[in-house]
Structure 1
Amino acid sequence: MPLTRREVIAGGGGLVWLAGVPARAETAYPSRTIKMIVPYPAGGTTDLLGRLIADQFKNGLSATVIVENKPGAGTTLGADQVAKSEPDGYTLLMATSTTLAINKTLYKKLPYDPVKDFAPIGLVAGVPFALIINPTIPAKTLPQFIAYAKSKPGLAYGSAGNGSPQHLGAEMLKTAAGIDIRHVPYRGSVPAMLDVIAGHIPFMVVDLQPALQQIREGKVRVLGVTTPKRVAAAPEIPTLAEAGLPGFELVAWQGVVAPAGTPRPIIDQLAAQLSKLLADPATREKLNAISLEPLPPSTPDSFAAYIKAEVDRWALIVRNSGAEPE
């Protein structure tokens, strides 16, 4: 009767028989550098958040964590790199609603599948937007601006690019307010906002973080934020729903994902670190300082379900806008 593996190992001859077989002991995670890919330029909101999360992973997991910025092609370059990386927990993506929801409909040939090619880890923060206008426009309230826009069909607005949340937010405003406006795409929020300040374009929907200082200095006039509730970083600014468009809501989101197939124990380790980060009052203050809204705790499974729902929700907005990739 042949010996079992346990019996062979227990016998003295078994030690000789196994001597040439390499050991396959599991190495505890993490044992080498973790790379966080941020598909946006350095210094922006997503980059700042990515570095905050990287610090948490570094301290909580006693790991070396580096942030690598890989902007381009509407975040698809960085996302595609992560999607095709080894699913071992050492390459992560700072994902946004653009990357995992909007792009699914915007691009006819997206190089990755937002649902199938990633293992969700957790949602972190929401990105509020604001409707800003050049101060020379004779409107100090949202109803006054809507009346002004109706008197000037084809009024131009700027955005961070075709299919960006800023673009889609303005198109949502167009539908909700019944105004005729014309899109002028820029390569980023800041160049568009600078042209609003200079009076080259009259208005835009902009992410609040880069606009807040300009608002407080009076370089632009703000008519409302797009969140369902007032933003903690600027509680003096009413929501657009309060200001005259009931039900209006536009909030982008930020989260962390890994390549599909990453072992669930690793995903759970990383998710636990995100939960610790969001439970820290100091973190909430840091997020508020960069005009981000901390989101309720999520699990990898709830985040996966959320992404699927967001793909469907944004698909309708993208189609209605007529947006196409640049």
Structure 2
Amino acid sequence: MLWTRRAAMTGCCGALAGVAAWPALAEAAYPNRAIKMIVPYPAGGTIDLLGRLVADQLRAGLAATVVVENKPGAATVLGAEQVARSEADGYTLLTATSTTLAINKALYRKLAYDPVADFTPIAPVARVPFALIVNPSLPAKTLAEFTAYAKANPGLAYGSAGNGSPHHLGAEMLRQRLGIDVHHVSYRSSVPALLDVIAGRIAFMVVDLQPALPQIRDGKVRVLGVTTPQRVAVAPDIPTLAELGLDGFELVAWVGVVAPAHVPQPIVEQLAAQIDKLTSDPATIERLTALALEPVSGSTPDRFRAFVKAEVDRWGIIVRNSGAELE
């Protein structure tokens, strides 16, 4: 059968319409290009480990190419600002922490991003417990003895991972609750501060439990208590500071994944499902628990958003009470 001119034109237009639809169909198939995971911390640390675990899960679960890029600096501000200004297409993600999304809001006079308005929350990954440690030469084996010693020896030096870090804020919370006079020494990260506690150059520190636990077990530092509401699974013999008399005392940092604001909901749900799959996996739970980390599963993007908003308020009070501030 011969085509009429009208039929030929109709067929041609239909074919062109189909060709025009191809890019839209291809764009709808997420992911169809590499995903970038920004980690605003140096390579090799706890946050970097968690970011890479998420990246591995996205590679496997979404059959995607995922590139991890470490962009440390300015208390995570550099990496966070990059992600906040990226396209809202699900191809740029941030391994964010309580510093990024809660502490910095109160810490900086002018912050280059808004932790609530500029990001799409995807999912939490893990909580990070802290502990109060002292140099073993200190004649204090309990929190009560430490309090008495600090009051009798005002000006004890403590270390932190920087002004406004959870380590600094935790020690300031202790200073206020215990009524002691102590001196803050700021370091570039928690590891050199921990090494100076071991060496006796500073007397004590509130430190994330993960790097401190081997030193505790080897007797290089003495632990007085953990800052979590309940005892930490990997170290059940260490009491909480709340158990030791500081009712309600809690210092727990956290790690999660966010994207730029306004990422389409179907993409958010895909990403959140993969992260929840990771944090619900028994092998992952066992691995993170052994590292003194607490995996978080069963959340949703909406719950994570509400959590972040509440944390902005909670940490804001802690920062203001500490007097910490950055330009």
Q: Where does residue 16 of structure 1 map in the other structure?
A: 12
SS of equivalent to 2:216: helix
Partner in structure 1 of residue 314 of structure 2: 313
Q: Secondary structure at the match of 1:126?
A: strand
- SS of the residue corresponding to residue 25 of structure 1 reads helix
Matched, 1:258 2:254: no
The 1-side partners of 2:218 and 2:140 are apart by 18
CA distance in 2, matches of 1:198, 1:310: 35
Q: Which amino acid aligns with 1:271?
A: A
1:171 paired with 2:167, answer no
The aligned amino acid for 1:229 is Q
Q: What RMSD in Å do the two structures reach over aligned CA positions?
A: 1.5
What is the percentage of aligned positions where both structures have the same residue? 72
Quick check: 1:145 aligned with 2:146? yes
Partner of 1:26: 25
Do the aligned residues in 1 keep the contact of 2:158 with 2:182 (CA within 8 Å)? Answer: yes
Structure 1 residue 26 displacement after superposition = 2.4
Aligned equivalents of 2:147, 2:139: Cα separation in 1? 11
Q: Distance in 2 between matches of 1:127 and 1:52?
A: 16
Q: What amino acid does structure 1 have at the position aligned with 2:172?
A: E
1:250-273 residue CA offsets vs partner (Å, 9 max, x unmatched): 000110001111111000000011
Aligned-pair CA distance for 1:64: 1.2
CA distance in 1: counterparts of 2:14 and 2:81, whole angstroms: 42
Which residue in 1 is equivalent to 2:3?
Answer: none
In 2, Cα distance between equivalents of 1:135 and 1:164? 24
1:69 offset after TM fit, Å?
0.7
Instruction: Report matched runs for 1:244-255 at 5 Å.
Output: 244-255=245-256
TM-score (norm 1): 0.94
Deviations 1:160-213 (A, max 9, x none): 000000000001111111111111111100011111111111001001111111
For residues 250-309 of structure 1, the C-alpha deviation after alignment (integer angstroms, 9 at most, x for no partner) is 000110001111111000000011111122111101111221112242111111111111
Structure 1 contact 123–297 (Cα < 8 Å) conserved: no
- Indicate the residue corresponding to 1:7 in structure 2: none
Residues 87, 262 of structure 1: 8 Å contact kept: yes
The residue aligned with 1:113 is 114
- Tell me the matched-pair count: 317
Q: When the two structures are superposed, what TM-score results if normalisation uses the length of structure 2?
A: 0.94
CA shift at 1:13, angstroms? 2.8
Q: How many angstroms apart in 2 are the aligned matches of 1:290 and 1:37?
A: 22
CA drift at 1:36:
0.8
Equivalent in the alignment of 2:229: 228
**Counterpart Cα distance in 2 of 1:15 and 1:114:** 52
Structure 1 Cα separation of the partners of residues 11 and 262 of structure 2: 35
- Counterpart mapping for 1:188-203 below 5 A: 188-203=189-204
Give the residue type in structure 1 aligned to 2:317. L
Residue by residue over 1:15-72, the C-alpha shift from the partner in whole angstroms, topping out at 9 and shown as x without a partner, is 4346666334322111111111110011111011111111111111111112111100
Q: 1:325 — aligned with what? A: 326
Tell me how far apart the structure 1 counterparts of residues 215 and 277 of structure 2 sit (CA, whole Å).
33
